[in-house]
Amino acid sequence: MTVAAGFGYVLISLGPALSLFVSVIAKKPFLILTLLASMLFWLISLIVLSGAWRGFLPLKSASWWPYVILIVTSVGFQEATRLIFWKLYKKLEVILDAFAEEKFRSRLSWTDKMQIALAGGLGHGVAHAVFFCVSLLTPSFGPATFFVDRCSHMPFFLVSAIISLGFMIIHTFSMVIAFNAYAEGRKLDQIIIPIIHILAAVMTLINLAPGGCAIGVPLLYIIGGVVLRHCWQMVWRKLTEQGNRQRNSSDIHVS
Amino acid sequence: MAEANPNSNPGVLETLGEEIVRIVAPVSACMLLVVLLVTALSSSSGGGLASIATIAYSDDSSDSFWDKLKGALLSSLSFVVLITLLTFLLVLLFYLRCTRFLKSYMAFSSLVVLAFLGGEVFLLLISRFYVPIDVVTFSLLLFNFAVVGVLAVFLAKVPIMVNQGYLVIIGVLVAYWFTLLPEWTTWALLIAMSLYDLAAVLLPGGPLRLLVELAISRDEELPALVYEARPVEHLPGAGTRLWRERRDLASNSSSNSNILEAGDPASQDTSLVIAEEGPSVSALTAPFLQQQLERHGEVELEGIGLSSSGAIKLGLGDFIFYSVLVGRAALYDFMTVYACYLAIMSGLGITLLLLAFYRKALPALPVSIALGIIFYLLTRASLEVFMVQCSTNLLMF
């Protein structure tokens, strides 16, 4: 049971990411590199954050307001790093486009760009799951499990695996939405993404209350669902409008 | 994903970076195996390791900080001196064209690694997981494993996958034994090796540099254990054929006809990295990276050749020391493993970028090891406290 449970937790938190990786990313070397770069980027942002908070941790007091500050600063910082990531990618995209033009006589298609955004988002999501959940799962492979007082219905590892899965979804697809919003200059989406991120983070604050995880986790998944739906809508809209345009232009292209 | 792209030819995403992924994948596999080995066996094997690396000093937990530091510095220094001497010996032998001797020596040392280190590791695994197996079967399997390994690496023509697989296995075995060294010695050794690597590849008289230049001027294979990623074929068939010819060349090194240099030699900018095997019990390796840019025929096809198809070569020593770093991190915690993995990969990426820029053999250890150690320290010092504080309260963002 023990090893099985450990693998189960790992698969809960990383399983969907794994299937995304196998089905979309693994065949395209450039996406693998994007994924690795994005994981590294996220890790660096986390290390900077932890360095900044090093002096105040561990928090001794039982009050919740230090946690609020921690969450707000962290999310703010991470949204800033998302912007930096976008700026860097923008520079890279110019080079990529030139390269594609020279080599394949075609520029990056919008699906290519979206896949790059997906790989970048998946990198953030996987890094999140790995550092917040999987790296703490080592004890769960042993003969015991662990419960926290405030969430005593389920083992601690199960709760954190479920939460990190929710964040994996949010990180992955909000990156797709954000990149698209930056590229098209859609102000609304650009603002929505940080708001969703901070809302999701605030939902985990509910876990501080006794028994709060029974409310916080479902709310987190509702946010995840909203992100997924929004992303799907956006992709669908692009699919239809670009599909029409492509059909018109492809005749010219071929000739 | 909907492929709205009507072009049937592969796009940028499929082709760009393929060379890098082909070197990143085996390095990752090697690290993963070492981490799994270390975590599976760390509790069961408590015994220290007596080898050439502990020649000057053997770590004792009761020693003071300064004693440990002094001892670790001393042993890594003696280790590096030894490697330097052995590498010069290798260069000398190569210069004197004792290729046959070098080849058989290296075949012998990989046999030792596979049979003895491998056998030891398998024994540990068998006792750890209570695998029911009798002595006769085990020795038969081990014998076959080792002999096939030696043939695959040096002597015979085998499928590339087998050759590469065995190279990775040799790396894993050696790296596992390095993780048994005392902690301080490991860190000192890693730093010392990257400095040595830097000097040996870049200084004018550096042994590895001499070796590469010699090999280039004579147009011979380097007498060393090198992982060679299969070149990416832009022209179907061209890459594999080239690779096979190269293997042929290696297997009968007496015939040095230039099948390989079908193109004009000027366009061939060779250089990069290798690992050579030193004769210590824990086979040793010095690293560097070799890349070949072969622009066969593509020049006329592609106009100004942005396209450079070529195999990246990474010395097995780089594999080993990357894995040692990750394995050592695995002895502390998994969080450090992930951080070190990402750091090493980014170091490798930086090295490859530099490689594309300078087009000559570069040391692959220094950047990666430096980043790895920095990330290890940062993770241990600050990230871990932060993560534990957040996660145990079920706070995430």
Residue boundaries of the structural domains of chain B: 19-43+66-230+302-315
- Whether the predicted pLDDT of B392 surpasses 60: yes
For A26-79, how does the pLDDT look when each residue is reduced to its tens digit (9 = 90+)? Answer: 888 889 999 999 999 999 999 998 888 887 777 666 677 888 888 888 999 999
- pLDDT the model gives residue B307: 27
CB contact under 8 A, A33 and B385: no
Of B60, B63, B219, B318, the catalytic one is: B318
Q: Which alpha helices (DSSP H) does B179-256 contain, by range?
A: 183-202, 207-218, 238-251
Could you say which residues from 199 to 228 on chain A have a Cβ atom under 8 Å away from some Cβ of chain B?
200-201, 204-205, 207-208, 213, 216
- pLDDT the model gives residue B301: 26
Among the listed ranges A102-116, B189-203, B361-375, which one has the minimum average pLDDT value? A102-116
Q: Evaluate whether residue A138 is within a structural domain.
A: yes
Give the minimum alpha-carbon distance from B304 to chain A in angstroms, rounded to a whole number: 10
Q: What are the angstrom distances between the C-alpha of A167 and each of A16, A78, A181, A207, B196?
A: 12, 13, 20, 15, 44
Strand partners, A148: A151
- pLDDT the model gives residue B309: 36
- Which residues of chain A are within 8 Å of residue B302 when distances are taken between CB atoms? 103
Give the minimum alpha-carbon distance from B33 to chain A in angstroms, rounded to a whole number: 17
- Which residues of chain B are within 8 Å of residue A136 when distances are taken between CB atoms? 335, 387-388, 391
CB contact under 8 A, A111 and B2: yes
Interface A–B counts its CB contacts (< 8 A) at 184
Q: Which alpha helices (DSSP H) does chain B contain, by range?
A: 12-15, 18-41, 65-95, 99-112, 118-129, 135-150, 160-178, 183-202, 207-218, 238-251, 298-302, 316-332, 334-358, 365-378, 384-392
CB contact under 8 A, B385 and A58: yes
For A176-202, how does the pLDDT look when each residue is reduced to its tens digit (9 = 90+)? Answer: 999 989 888 888 888 889 999 999 988
- Which residues of chain B are within 8 Å of residue A46 when distances are taken between CB atoms? 383, 386
- Whether the predicted pLDDT of B287 surpasses 50: no
Residue B230: pLDDT band by 50, 70, 90 thresholds?
low
Determine contact, residues A133/A13, Cβ cutoff 8 Å. yes
B137 CB-contact burial (10 Å; exposed 0-12 / middle 13-18 / buried 19+) = exposed
- pLDDT the model gives residue B280: 32
Encoded tokens for B142: 């081990």
Q: Evaluate whether residue A134 is within a structural domain.
A: yes
Q: What are the angstrom distances between the C-alpha of A132 and each of A128, A231, B387?
A: 6, 25, 6
- Whether the predicted pLDDT of B10 surpasses 90: no
Q: Evaluate whether residue A221 is within a structural domain.
A: yes
- pLDDT the model gives residue A54: 82
Among the listed ranges A19-23, A158-162, A220-224, B53-57, which one has the minimum average pLDDT value? B53-57
Computed over every residue of chain B, the mean pLDDT equals 72
User: For A30, which of B12, B339, B345 is closest by C-beta distance?
Assistant: B12
Q: Which residue has the higher pLDDT, B87 or B341?
A: B341
Q: How many CB atoms lie within 10 A of CB B97?
A: 12
CA–CA distance, B168 with B228 (Å, rounded to integer): 11
Residue B56: pLDDT band by 50, 70, 90 thresholds?
low
Give the minimum alpha-carbon distance from B356 to chain A in angstroms, rounded to a whole number: 15
Burial B333-354, CB ≥16 within 10 A → b, else e:
bbbbbbbbbbbbbbbbbebbeb
CA–CA distance, A247 with B357 (Å, rounded to integer): 42
- Determine whether B219 is an active site residue: no
User: For A57, which of B16, B375, B385 is closest by C-beta distance?
Assistant: B385
Determine contact, residues B177/B282, Cβ cutoff 8 Å. yes
For B104-163, how does the pLDDT look when each residue is reduced to its tens digit (9 = 90+)? Answer: 888 888 888 889 889 989 998 998 888 888 999 999 999 999 988 888 887 667 788 888
- pLDDT the model gives residue B340: 93
- Determine whether B318 is an active site residue: yes
Confidence check on the interface: ipTM exceeds 0.90, yes or no: no
Determine contact, residues B310/B355, Cβ cutoff 8 Å. no
CB contact under 8 A, A104 and B7: yes
User: For A36, which of B4, B9, B345 is closest by C-beta distance?
Assistant: B345
Give the minimum alpha-carbon distance from B331 to chain A in angstroms, rounded to a whole number: 12
In this prediction the pTM is 0.80
Q: What percent of chain A shows pLDDT beyond 90?
A: 34
- The answer for residues whose C-beta is within 8 angstroms of residue A221's C-beta and 6 or more apart is A166
- Which residues of chain A are within 8 Å of residue B337 when distances are taken between CB atoms? 135
Encoded tokens for B284: 């040793």
From the list B346, B33, B240, the residue with the least C-alpha distance to A44 is B346
CB contact under 8 A, B397 and A133: no
- Which residues of chain B are within 8 Å of residue A164 when distances are taken between CB atoms? 396
| CA dihedral sign, ordered A164, A170, A175, A176 | positive
| Domain span at A181 | 3-55+64-243
- pLDDT the model gives residue B28: 92
* CB of A146 less than 8 A from some CB of B: no
Q: What are the angstrom distances between the C-alpha of A87 and each of A82, A84, A110, A193, B182?
A: 9, 5, 18, 17, 44
Q: What percent of chain B shows pLDDT beyond 90?
A: 14
Burial A118-155, CB ≥16 within 10 A → b, else e:
bbbbbbbbbbbbbbbbbbbbeebbeeebeebebbeebb
Calculate the CA A225 to chain-centre distance: 13
What's phi and psi for B290, nearest 5 deg? -125, 135
- The answer for residues whose C-beta is within 8 angstroms of residue A82's C-beta and 6 or more apart is A175, A178, A193
CB contact under 8 A, B20 and A33: yes
**Chain B: residue whose CA lies nearest to A207:** B394
- Which residues of chain A are within 8 Å of residue B339 when distances are taken between CB atoms? 43, 47
CA dihedral B351, B352, B358, B363 (to 10 degrees): 40
- pLDDT the model gives residue A19: 93
Burial B41-64, CB ≥16 within 10 A → b, else e:
beeeeeeebeebbbebbbbeeebe
User: For B17, which of A29, A134, A137 is closest by C-beta distance?
Assistant: A29
- pLDDT the model gives residue B231: 60
Q: How many domains does chain A have?
A: 1
Q: How many CB atoms lie within 10 A of CB A10?
A: 20
Q: What are the angstrom distances between the C-alpha of B34 and each of A114, B27, B178, B323, B386?
A: 35, 11, 10, 6, 27
- pLDDT the model gives residue B94: 83
From the list A15, A251, A243, the residue with the least C-alpha distance to A110 is A243
Residue A127: pLDDT band by 50, 70, 90 thresholds?
very high
Give the minimum alpha-carbon distance from B349 to chain A in angstroms, rounded to a whole number: 9
From the list B75, B89, B228, B240, the residue with the least C-alpha distance to B166 is B228
Among the listed ranges A105-119, B56-70, B174-188, which one has the minimum average pLDDT value? B56-70
Q: Evaluate whether residue A148 is within a structural domain.
A: yes
End-to-end Cα spacing for chain A: 63
Q: Evaluate whether residue A251 is within a structural domain.
A: no
What's phi and psi for A181, nearest 5 deg? -65, -40
- Whether the predicted pLDDT of B275 surpasses 50: no
CB contact under 8 A, A32 and B17: yes
CB contact under 8 A, B391 and A43: no
Determine contact, residues B271/B315, Cβ cutoff 8 Å. no
What's phi and psi for B270, nearest 5 deg? -100, 145
CA–CA distance, B40 with B45 (Å, rounded to integer): 10
Give the minimum alpha-carbon distance from A73 to chain B in angstroms, rounded to a whole number: 10
Determine contact, residues B44/B127, Cβ cutoff 8 Å. yes
Determine contact, residues B237/B249, Cβ cutoff 8 Å. no
Residue B283: pLDDT band by 50, 70, 90 thresholds?
very low
**Chain B: residue whose CA lies nearest to A116:** B13
- pLDDT the model gives residue A221: 92
A246: Cα within 13 Å, side-chain hemisphere: 14
CA–CA distance, B243 with B241 (Å, rounded to integer): 5
The pairing of strands B312-315 and B276-278 is unpaired
CB contact under 8 A, B4 and A110: yes
